[in-house]
Amino acid sequence: MVTAKVDAHHWTRGEYERRVEAGAFEGWKVELVEGALHEVTPQTSRHSSAVRKLARELQACLVEGLDLRQQMPLALGSDSLPEADLAVVPADPDDYAEAHPDRALLVAEVSQTSLRFDRETKQRVYALAGIPEYWILNLTSGSLEVYREPAGSTYRSRTVLGSADEVSPLFAPGMAIRVKRLLPKK
């Protein structure tokens, strides 16, 4: 018996954005990462709580000229439009009405069930885009993984911080965020 090979369609960002504009994915919860559509996992209350806590802490660190985007797309490369939980981007007077930002100073994902995807696939996409800092708030272990120094498809530096530790974003080195303040109560 001969089985035909069926290749998956590799989406470009432009092709995907045109289909989104036309309403092709209405009601779908997907994001484009490395040319593939990935279903976005529904948020638990712990995930939502952690996103809000992280957003409050990062917002307090922002200086003029920066903006915090929550669960909005980043136009990265020709085939990725990930919707990061949080991204610190250069401010745009028109709030990116014409196009999604194509760079960020920091991207953060809150992770529980998507930890492998966030550590492998999303980390690769963010490193290739040259994003200087990538955080994964790991709800399973109660830690913050801080990736810095993008080099090709990876980061040279990875630090895991516990709840008693503090972190200072590269864009605001004088600010300190206690990891415990980011974690939802168990």
Of 65, 57, 89, 52, the residue nearest 168 (C-alpha): 57
Q: Report how far residue 109's alpha carbon sits from residue 112's, in angstroms, rounded to the nearest whole number.
A: 10
Q: What is the pLDDT of residue 127?
A: 98
pLDDT for residue 5: 66
78: DSSP letter? T
pTM for this prediction = 0.90
Cβ contact 124:36 at 8 Å: no
Distance of alpha carbon 52 from alpha carbon 172, whole angstroms: 19
Question: Is 110:50 a contact under the CB 8 Å cutoff?
Answer: yes
What is the C-alpha separation between 130 and 108, in angstroms, rounded?
A: 14
Rounded Cα distance, 60 and 45, in Å: 23
What are 19-28's pLDDT values in tens digits? 988 998 888 8
Confidence (pLDDT) at 43? 84
pLDDT in tens, 103-117: 999 999 999 889 999
Buried b (16+ CB within 10 A) or exposed e, 104-134: bbbbbbbbbebbeebbebbbbbbbbbebbbb
Q: Which residue has the tokens 């996409």?
A: 125
Whole-number mean pLDDT of the chain? 93
Which pLDDT band, with edges at 50, 70 and 90, does 2 fall under?
Answer: low
What is residue 103's predicted lDDT score, i.e. its pLDDT? 95
- Residue 126 in this model has a pLDDT that exceeds 80: yes
Q: Say if residue 4's pLDDT is above 80.
A: no
Tell whether the model's pLDDT for residue 144 goes beyond 70: yes
Average pLDDT score over residue span 69-77:
95
Higher pLDDT, 138 or 38: 138
Contact assessment for residue 159 and residue 143, using Cβ atoms and an 8 Å cutoff: no
Q: Which residue has the higher pLDDT, 30 or 90?
A: 90
Which pLDDT value is given to residue 6?
Answer: 63
